[in-house]
Structure 1
Amino acid sequence: MADRTPSPAVFEFNSGRLCLDFTNTVRARPLSDRVESINQYSDLLEWARQATILTAEEASALAQEARRRPRQAAETLAQAIALREAIHGLFSARAAGLPVPPADLRTLNQAIGRAMAHAGLTPSGSRFGWSWPEAPVDLDRVSWWVARSAAELLTSSDLTFVRECASYDCGWLFMDTTKNRSRRWCNMRTCGNRAKGRRHYERKKGAQRPPP
């Protein structure tokens, strides 16, 4: 599959979950020339900075570490992309009511294992939560957050709210929190309006067709 590869300066975060936002870094996913937004390790860091899972200082430290270890950074990027595709496969199947692909679940479980190897419990008010040491230079730190988000959603009752955009050329995932659970589009201003435009065009085209 050929990917177009412009790297956007601004990513979108409107799916309702971090892990779904990460899957949505590919545009036109079902098409043969889909648009890839994360083409290099620096793109991954920029996405994480905009997602606020890394501070600017942490992103800078990881960028410096990536320059020092370019081969490992490339491997980490490939691992993150594989995780992204696995998460999309899992939630896309779940949204369609299909069995989840075993290979995708295996990829996610491996990522969760790597993440939890670095995690520890820390107090947060009257409760405890999982966290990671501050400002480490582990190149795969971004994937820890993504894997954790996916695991939390898969084991939550909110899993039933996951939807895939109804546009044939989109493939983005989102949380449908509408009252009657009837949301069809990742964004009404983009995919929704394009679908309305296509329906209008088809109706107009049909009306202009001469009778047999």
Structure 2
Amino acid sequence: MTDRFRAGAGRLCLDFVRTLRYRGTPEEREELPDAAAWGAWIDQLGPFAAPVHPASAADAQVLREAIYELLTGEVREPVRRRLNRFAALPVPAPSLTTAGELRWQAADPAEAMLALLARDALELVTSPESGRVRRCAGERCGALFLDTSRPGTRRWCSMEICGNQAKKSTYRAKVSVS
């Protein structure tokens, strides 16, 4: 099975923010348009063993935009209240199966996922890592990612995609000038 959603931004809340793909460009695309997509995101990136079937994606979209505003330094009072409200929701509880595997359980897995995402964002923005959140330099991308490189100079969310496209463009520009 191929993963439907992008992961690897360095924190779960950053992967979540990337569900509004190509943010701010004419190609902007909503990856969580409905409950089925929100459930698929939780199934792919969440901690639950069984498929999740949320009733709606509206809260997920509201939280995603609040996290984006928090991480880009645009926090207003309503955003702060929203984040705190989501962070206060019940989180999943760990349990050990008879086979010795860790499983996560929650009365409402979608609501618990919102709590995990809000808490992750609040922890990130109040940590030393907050200064390492970057916006991808890819021409069409603009995704946020956590720069974990030693010098802190990473430019792209993904070297395989955005970095490769940028290097190809630079090369083509040099070749056409020659």
Q: In the superposition, relative to structure 1, how do residues 200 and 182 fare at CA in structure 2: closer, same or farther (>3 Å)? A: same
Work out whether 1:112 is the aligned partner of 2:106: no
- Equivalent residue for 1:49, pick from 43, 46, 60: 43
Work out whether 1:201 is the aligned partner of 2:168: no
Q: In the superposition, relative to structure 1, how do residues 206 and 89 fare at CA in structure 2: closer, same or farther (>3 Å)? A: farther
1:28 counterpart residue number: 22
Instruction: State the shift of 1:203 in Å.
Output: 1.9
User: Identity over aligned residues, as a percent?
Assistant: 32
Kindly indicate whether the alpha-carbon contact (under 8 Å) linking 2:21 and 2:141 is maintained by their aligned counterparts in 1.
Answer: yes
Instruction: State the shift of 1:30 in Å.
Output: 2.6
CA RMSD of aligned residues (A): 2.6
- Equivalent residue for 2:132, pick from 161, 165, 172: 161
Q: Aligned partner of 2:63: which letter?
A: L
> Normalising by structure 2, what TM-score?
0.81
3-state secondary structure, aligned to 2:130? helix
CA distance in 1 between counterparts of 2:126 and 2:93 reads 19
Alignment size in residue pairs: 168
2:70 counterpart residue number: 90
Higher helix share: 1
Work out whether 1:140 is the aligned partner of 2:111: yes
Larger deviation, residues 177-186 vs 48-57:
48-57
Q: Aligned partner of 2:26: which letter?
A: S
3-state secondary structure, aligned to 2:40? helix
1:39 counterpart residue number: 33
C-alpha distance after superposition, 1:140-198 (max 9, x if no partner)? 33211110110110111111121110112101111111111111011111000101111
Q: Aligned partner of 2:70: which letter?
A: L
Q: In the superposition, relative to structure 1, how do residues 42 and 199 fare at CA in structure 2: closer, same or farther (>3 Å)? A: same
**Gaps spanning 5+ residues in structure 2: where?**
95-103
Q: In the superposition, relative to structure 1, how do residues 50 and 201 fare at CA in structure 2: closer, same or farther (>3 Å)? A: same
CA distance in 1 between counterparts of 2:21 and 2:75 reads 25
Instruction: State the shift of 1:9 in Å.
Output: 5.2
- Equivalent residue for 1:11, pick from 5, 9, 15: 5
Kindly indicate whether the alpha-carbon contact (under 8 Å) linking 2:69 and 2:79 is maintained by their aligned counterparts in 1.
Answer: no
Larger deviation, residues 107-116 vs 194-203:
107-116
Instruction: State the shift of 1:110 in Å.
Output: 1.8
1:177 counterpart residue number: 148
Q: Aligned partner of 1:188: which letter?
A: M
